[in-house]
Amino acid sequence: MVAKFEPKTDYKVVGTRPIRHDGYDKVTGRAVYGADVQLPGLIWGVCVRSPHAHANIKSIDTSAAEASDGVFAVITGADMPKAASKLVDLGEGNINFKWASNKLMADNKVLYKGHPVAAVAATDRYAAEEAARKVVVEYEVLPSVTNVVDALAEDAPILLEDLVGDDLGEDVTNTNMATHARHEFGDVEGAMNSAAHTI
């Protein structure tokens, strides 16, 4: 016997045209969005990001941005606290503390396209964006790869030369492998060999 399914048609919302209570405000431009809210003392931030996937930062000139109207501060990786290159257990495996810190803002080297190299804090979004455009960064572009297989090749460009990695006995110096973890529980081979049925 084949089961017969009848489509349900007594929905209260699906298939109907409910009234959008915010529709009128949206089509007339009266709706207030998060970006429209300017709270007292609110400061806007904009990041300056690298256009290159892999490059050394030769210099960063923030003087024009700092002199712009409405700018409170401009910071770069040089202003960030220096983290030690050591492994830290964050509950989900070990991670290199320096590498984690470097993801927030590049110090001497950018590791991916879009890596933040500077940040501007200003009175409003437009002042922050205008000042960010005035930050001048000089890069020395380095060879890059765009996938994991190429990044693990022996001749791959190394992203972090002084990275301390987590390994299983391999030499992880001068490699792009930050962590190698293997999880085992029980005797898998024994269970497969003694199972009544295997698929």
Residue 3 falls inside a structural domain: no
Residue 103 falls inside a structural domain: yes
* pLDDT band, residue 75 (cuts 50/70/90): very high
**Distance from C-alpha of 95 to C-alpha of 103, rounded to nearest angstrom:** 12
Mean pLDDT over all residues of the chain? 86
CATH number at residue 102: 3.90.1170.50
Residue 188 falls inside a structural domain: no
Q: Is the pLDDT of residue 169 over 70?
A: no
Residue 199: predicted pLDDT: 81
Residue 88 falls inside a structural domain: yes
Which structural domain range is residue 89 located in?
40-182
Per residue in 14-42, pLDDT (tens digit) is 888 888 889 999 999 999 998 888 889 99
List the single range of 10-14, 123-127, 167-171 with lowest mean pLDDT: 167-171
Strongest mean pLDDT among 76-85, 92-101, 114-123, 184-193: 114-123
Residue 101 falls inside a structural domain: yes
Per residue in 93-135, pLDDT (tens digit) is 677 767 777 778 998 999 999 999 999 999 999 999 999 999 9
Residue 145 falls inside a structural domain: yes
Residue 19 falls inside a structural domain: no
Q: How many distinct structural domains can be found in the chain?
A: 1
Residue 35 falls inside a structural domain: no
Residue 6: predicted pLDDT: 78
Residue 122: predicted pLDDT: 97
